């Protein structure tokens, strides 16, 4: 069932599942953002390998 369906009911199971899902997505997004920013800064500073 999807949230825009009329039969949707926000119960404890849905809160736990979606809370965990968004927590996981936030952690992965933060890690990916950190890696991209670090890569950009290291490249601009001339650090890194020259393959």
pLDDT of 41 reads: 93
Residue with tokens 């601009």: 44
Sorting pLDDT into bands at 50, 70 and 90, what band is 12?
very high
Q: Could you tell me the CA-to-CA distances from 46 to 11, 13, 38 in Å, in that order?
A: 52, 50, 12
Spatial distance between the Cα atoms of 46 and 17, rounded to a whole number of angstroms:
44
Question: Across the chain, what does the average pLDDT equal?
Answer: 86
Spatial distance between the Cα atoms of 12 and 16, rounded to a whole number of angstroms:
6
Q: Could you tell me the CA-to-CA distances from 10 to 5, 15, 28, 45 in Å, in that order?
A: 12, 7, 25, 50
Beta carbons of 8 and 1 less than 8 angstroms apart: yes
Q: Mind listing the pLDDT tens digit for each residue in 26-49?
A: 999 999 999 999 999 998 998 866
């Amino acid at each position: 069932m999807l949230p825009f369906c009329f039969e949707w009911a926000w119960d404890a199971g849905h809160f736990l599942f979606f809370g965990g899902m968004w927590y996981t997505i936030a952690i992965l997004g933060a890690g990916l953002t950190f890696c991209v920013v670090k890569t950009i800064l290291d490249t601009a500073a001339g650090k890194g390998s020259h393959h």
